[in-house]
Structure 1
C-alpha cells in the first residue's frame, strides 16, 4: 500500500483501543491510510478489574494484537520514550522512529506515588496487571496481619472490599481524606459504608498519609499504622512526555484540547482518555473508562472527517453512572447527572452486581461491533446498553 497518511496511536487502553478499532474500521479501509498502535505490552490491561487480579482471581488473557486482528491496524510493541512534535515523530525504546501525520495521544494515568515519600518504593499499585499480580503474590503469602489501602476513592473502596472478602483473616484498613462514596447520594453512600463494615474493613476518614515505610504508614500528626502490605490508590499522574514535547498541558500534565479533542498548540495531535484535559460545559472531565472510550471514538471520527476534507465536530459528553463493586457478591451503582452529580436513583445488591459486570465486559462486544462498523455510526456502552451515535456526514 502506498502510505499517504500515517496515524500513530500511543497507548492501547480503553480509549486508545476504541480510537484504533474505530479509525481502522473507517479510514483504514481506504488506500493510503495507515493506522499504527504503540503499546508497551501485548497484553490488554483491564483496569476496571485490576482489584480482582490483586486478590489472585484469574481473568481472561486479552491480547492487543488479537483485538486488532482484522482491522488493518498494525501493532508496535515498545515503550514510548519521546515525542518530537516539530518533526512529527515518536521514538520507541528499541530505537525505532515512527513518523506520523496525525498523532492520537492516549498514554493514560497511573497512581501518583510521587506525592508521598516512600510510596514509590514501599507501596503496591494497580497500575498494570503485573503490579496487581505482585500484590496478589504478597497477599497470598500472608497468614494474617494488616493491609492498608491508601485512598478512599472508588478504586480504594473496591480494592479494600475485594481484599477483605477474599482474605477474611487479614485486617484491612482504608485510609482517606473523604468518606467512601463521597460523590454518591446519601442512600448509596450509606450502602457502601455498611458493606465495608460487613466485610470488616476499618475505615478512617479525615486522615492524611505523609509517609510510607517498609512496615506501615505515618499519618499527619505523628501517628503510625503498622502494615504487612500497603496499596496506594490515592491520586493519579500522567506521563511527562506531552509537556516535554512542547504540547500545551494543564497543571497536571494533561494535554489541553479544543472542542474536537485536538491539542490547542498542535492540531495534528488528538488527546484522549486520562491524558487529555477536556473541557465540557460542567468543567474538565475526569478520567474514567466511561468517558475514555467515547473520547477515543470521537477522535477517530474527527480524524476520518478531516481525511475526507471535512471539519471535525465538537465533542459532547455527559456522565451516566458510577458502578462500584463491593466484593464479588455485592455492588452499588449510582446513576448520575451529565455533570457527574448524583441522581436520586441507585442500584444495590445483586442487581447492581449484574449491571456492573455487564458494563465491565462491554468493551469487548463494542470493539467487535466497531470492526464491522457501517460508515454511518459508532457504538459505545451506556448504562449497560449500546448506544449508536451517528456521524451525520
Structure 2
C-alpha cells in the first residue's frame, strides 16, 4: 500500500437505496480528484431497486434496469456485493455474509426498511410483499396465473393504494379489496381525496376502511371481528420495520429500531456513524421524518457533506428538511399529487389525472438522472434534490 492510500479516510456506506446511493455519489463526486478519501458501498445486488416502481413489477410490467457499477464508473467509489450480517462500532468493522470484514473510519448506515411481516400472524407465511424485485416478481407470477378470483391488499396507506389501483387496472378480471384501519388518502385535502376515491371506484377496487386484519390465512384474511375475507392472493403493505443490526451493534435506536441521530445525522451514541433514509430517526421541528424517497435522498446528500466537513476539521451543519408533495399513482394514466406544507400537512394545491401522472413520473419516479447529475458535480457544487425543501451546505471548502 502506498503512502497516499495509507492516509485515506475510509468511508463505508451500507445500502444502495435512494439515501445510500446519494451519499456515495456525493462523496465520490466531491473527492475523486483529491485522493484523500475512499468510498466503499455495500449492497447485495448490482442493480438499483427503484422501490417506487415495485407495484409495476408486481403486475408484470417491465421497468428499466439500473446498474450500480455503471453509475459508479469513474467516481472512484467501489461496490462490494454482500448482505451485512454484523456491525461492530467499537472495532469500526462490518461483517458481510461471506465472512469478509470491512474496516471504516466513518460509516453511513442506510439499510432501509421492509414490510412488517411479524406484527400480524400469518403474514410471513401467506402474504406477498413489495420489499424488492424478487418479492414483486413472485406476486407478478401469482397474479398472472389466477385468471379470476379475489386479491386482498392489506394496508390502506399510499403503497397499498398504488398497488391496489395497479392490480385492478392490469387485471380487470380480478376483484381487488383494499383493507385498512383508515380511509385511503385520509390526510389529503378533500379535493385530492375525492379524486383518489373516484379513481379506485372507477377501477373497481372495493375499499373497506375501519377494519383490522387479525391473521393472514392460506386463502384470505381473518379480521379482528372474527369474519374472514377469501382471497387467492394477499399483498401486505401495512407497516414497516428496520433490520435489527443497529440495535444489536449497540447504537442508540428508537422504539422502531431506527438509529437516533443528532442534527447533523450522526448517531447520538457513535458520532462516527451517520444514519440516513428509513434507517434513521431524524427529528425536525415538526417531528420525526417518515421514510420516503423525497426525504431519503437529501439525508444521503447531507450526510456526505457533513462527513467532508468533519474530515476537513470543521463542524457539520444541521440538517433541515421540509416536505413538498405527496404523489400517488392510480394506474398508468392517472394520479393525484397533494402539495404539502413543510410539516407534510396538505395544502389546497392539488394536481389530478394525466397531468398528475406525468408530474409523478418526472419528479418522483426517475432518480437515475438525478444520480447522474450528482456524479458530475464539482467539489463545491450544490445539489437540489427532487421534491423537497432542503437547506444545503453550499461548499465543503
Q: TM-score, normalised by structure 1?
A: 0.97
Matched, 1:186 2:181: no
Q: Say if 1:121 and 1:260 are closer, same or farther in 2 by CA, change over 3 A.
A: same
Matched, 1:303 2:296: no
RMSD: 1.6
Q: Tell me the CA shift for residue 388 of structure 1.
A: 8.1
The residue that corresponds to 1:59 in the other structure is 63
Matched, 1:280 2:297: no
Q: Which runs of 5+ in 2 are unaligned?
A: none
Say which of 5, 17, 22 aligns to 1:2.
Answer: 5
Matched, 1:224 2:223: no
Say which of 188, 209, 214 aligns to 2:213.
Answer: 209
Matches within 5 A, 1:95-110: 95-110=99-114
Q: Say if 1:311 and 1:346 are closer, same or farther in 2 by CA, change over 3 A.
A: same
Q: Distance in 2 between matches of 1:384 and 1:220?
A: 38
Q: Distance in 2 between matches of 1:321 and 1:389?
A: 23
Q: Which runs of 5+ in 1 are unaligned?
A: none
The residue that corresponds to 1:124 in the other structure is 128
Q: Distance in 2 between matches of 1:101 and 1:88?
A: 7
Q: Distance in 1 between matches of 2:17 and 2:33?
A: 23
The residue that corresponds to 1:41 in the other structure is 45
Q: Distance in 2 between matches of 1:387 and 1:308?
A: 20
Asked if structure 2 preserves the Cα contact closer than 8 Å seen for 1:28 and 1:35, the reply is: no
Asked if structure 2 preserves the Cα contact closer than 8 Å seen for 1:370 and 1:378, the reply is: no
1:55-89 Cα deviation digits (max 9, x unpaired): 00001111111121111100000000000011000
Q: Distance in 2 between matches of 1:282 and 1:38?
A: 32
Asked if structure 2 preserves the Cα contact closer than 8 Å seen for 1:256 and 1:277, the reply is: yes
Asked if structure 1 preserves the Cα contact closer than 8 Å seen for 2:43 and 2:80, the reply is: yes
Asked if structure 1 preserves the Cα contact closer than 8 Å seen for 2:322 and 2:341, the reply is: yes
Q: Tell me the CA shift for residue 125 of structure 1.
A: 0.2
Asked if structure 2 preserves the Cα contact closer than 8 Å seen for 1:320 and 1:383, the reply is: yes
> Which of 374-383 and 197-206 deviates more?
374-383
Q: Say if 1:364 and 1:388 are closer, same or farther in 2 by CA, change over 3 A.
A: farther
Asked if structure 1 preserves the Cα contact closer than 8 Å seen for 2:116 and 2:240, the reply is: yes
The residue that corresponds to 1:263 in the other structure is 267
Q: Tell me the CA shift for residue 392 of structure 1.
A: 7.0
Q: Distance in 2 between matches of 1:328 and 1:309?
A: 49
Q: TM-score, normalised by structure 2?
A: 0.96
Q: Say if 1:201 and 1:141 are closer, same or farther in 2 by CA, change over 3 A.
A: same
The residue that corresponds to 2:243 in the other structure is 239
- Secondary structure of the 1:347 match is strand
- Secondary structure of the 1:379 match is coil
Asked if structure 2 preserves the Cα contact closer than 8 Å seen for 1:6 and 1:100, the reply is: yes
- Secondary structure of the 1:86 match is coil
Q: Distance in 2 between matches of 1:279 and 1:387?
A: 15
> Which of 303-312 and 126-135 deviates more?
303-312
The residue that corresponds to 2:72 in the other structure is 68
Say which of 321, 334, 352 aligns to 2:356.
Answer: 352
The residue that corresponds to 1:319 in the other structure is 323
- Secondary structure of the 2:327 match is strand
The residue that corresponds to 2:145 in the other structure is 141
Say which of 96, 117, 129 aligns to 1:92.
Answer: 96
Matches within 5 A, 1:377-392: 377-383=381-387, 390-391=394-395
Q: Distance in 2 between matches of 1:10 and 1:383?
A: 24
Q: Distance in 2 between matches of 1:140 and 1:380?
A: 40
Q: Distance in 2 between matches of 1:365 and 1:385?
A: 19
Q: Distance in 2 between matches of 1:146 and 1:255?
A: 39
Say which of 23, 29, 34 aligns to 1:25.
Answer: 29
Q: How many residues align?
A: 393
- Secondary structure of the 2:363 match is helix
Asked if structure 2 preserves the Cα contact closer than 8 Å seen for 1:192 and 1:332, the reply is: yes
The residue that corresponds to 1:335 in the other structure is 339
Q: Tell me the CA shift for residue 185 of structure 1.
A: 0.6
Q: Tell me the CA shift for residue 383 of structure 1.
A: 3.8
> Which of 381-390 and 250-259 deviates more?
381-390
Q: Distance in 2 between matches of 1:266 and 1:367?
A: 28
